[in-house]
Amino acid sequence: MARGNNRRRSMLSWAVMKDGRTLWTLNAVPKTTVYGESLRNFSGTEFRRWDPTRSKLGAALVRTRRAPELLLPEEGTTVLYLGAGHGTSISHLHDHLCGAENDLSGRLVAVDLAPRCLRELTHMAKSRPGLVPVLGDARKHAAWGVLLPRKVNWLFQDVAQAGQVDIFIAACRRFLERNGTGLLSLKAASERWTGEGEEALFTSVEQTLESSGFEVEERIELAGYEDNHVLFAVRKLE
């Protein structure tokens, strides 16, 4: 499908399409849904609807004020995703990064500490080669870091637990290349914050990131899709 072949419709990547405000990804496992999302044919190719109310990455792609494709990793690369959950965002990311039968040779290392999530991710990985589910704690690099012998150019974190910012900074220091893109989904309610409200918390996090060797390229408000959440898009400077 040609990029921008319709005024409302544009391709953000070879597999991610924006149709008005609706996102779709080219289904790497045709005729199969992951979380009850709708399937639709566009010019004979099956796409899955990416629900931004179920995925912070999806919400950020809809909400960003910059070109949305800046939030996506390069297809066919290795990326790290911390806090994989049940695999909603992971599945769409896999469509983009790997494609059917991993034709693009991507690698999506997906870490979560909940055994139930891992069971679902492991099941998903059977039909989505390139997806590497890891039962592990995002803070304990020694246990799973061996899976990433080289640094990655894209790292996403959505762990929704206290200390999210420190976990993200440590993971970026260890696994993200210089100039790589880091995306931090921050849930305000998960932080032990004694300051003056959410806005002050987000500003304080932004300052912490800036003083820790990152350029904050954008702070994306997810309210409406995920209340009390923002997503920080950063570039690693050092």
Ligand X SMILES: C[S@@+](CC[C@H](N)C(=O)[O-])C[C@H]1O[C@@H](n2cnc3c(N)ncnc32)[C@H](O)[C@@H]1O
Binding site for ligand X (CB under 6 A): 55-56, 82-83, 85, 88-89, 111-114, 117, 137-139, 158-161
Give the residue with the Cβ less far from ligand X, 58 or 180: 58
Nearest distance, CB of residue 237 and ligand X, angstroms:
25
Give the residue with the Cβ less far from ligand X, 14 or 144: 144
Nearest distance, CB of residue 101 and ligand X, angstroms:
23
Nearest distance, CB of residue 211 and ligand X, angstroms:
23
Rounded to an integer, what distance in angstroms lies between the CA atom of residue 238 and that of residue 218? 18
- The pair of three-digit structure tokens given for residue 35, joined into one six-digit string: 């979380």
Taking CB atoms, the residue at the shortest distance from ligand X is: 85
Give the residue with the Cβ less far from ligand X, 134 or 234: 134
Rounded to an integer, what distance in angstroms lies between the CA atom of residue 41 and that of residue 18? 14
CA distances from 237 to 68, 143, 204, 216, 217 (A): 21, 27, 19, 10, 12
Give, in degrees to the nearest 5, the angle at Cα 79 between 99 and 205: 130
Rounded to an integer, what distance in angstroms lies between the CA atom of residue 156 and that of residue 173? 13
Nearest distance, CB of residue 7 and ligand X, angstroms:
30
Give the residue with the Cβ less far from ligand X, 27 or 44: 27
